[in-house]
Amino acid sequence: MKIDKSKLEAMSALSDEELWNQIRQIAGEKGIRMPEKSPGKDELSKVRAALSDADKLSLPGAMRMINNLKRGDK
């Protein structure tokens, strides 16, 4: 799977609300239900950090992050 770094950069530049809406939309397209309520700034900062380091993104790491966001884990 090829990762489009320019799309990741664009996503990381979005406001917290816009970023969360994008995450929910992408997850929904894959059949994953995410809470409507946006996680806190700390959690979204972790998402932005992952988006900015696309070379280190992994499927297991992404799934772990998704599961934590779904549960509201910190």
- Region 2-17: what's the mean pLDDT? 86
As a whole number, the mean pLDDT across the chain is 84
Q: Is pLDDT larger for residue 46 or for residue 58?
A: 46
Pull the structure tokens for residue 52.
């900015």
pLDDT value for 74: 46
Q: How confident is the model at residue 63 (pLDDT cuts 50, 70, 90)?
A: confident
CB-based contact 12:51 (threshold 8 Å): yes
Q: How confident is the model at residue 2 (pLDDT cuts 50, 70, 90)?
A: low
**Cα(17)–Cα(55) distance, rounded to whole angstroms?**
25
**Cα(64)–Cα(39) distance, rounded to whole angstroms?**
15
pLDDT value for 5: 81
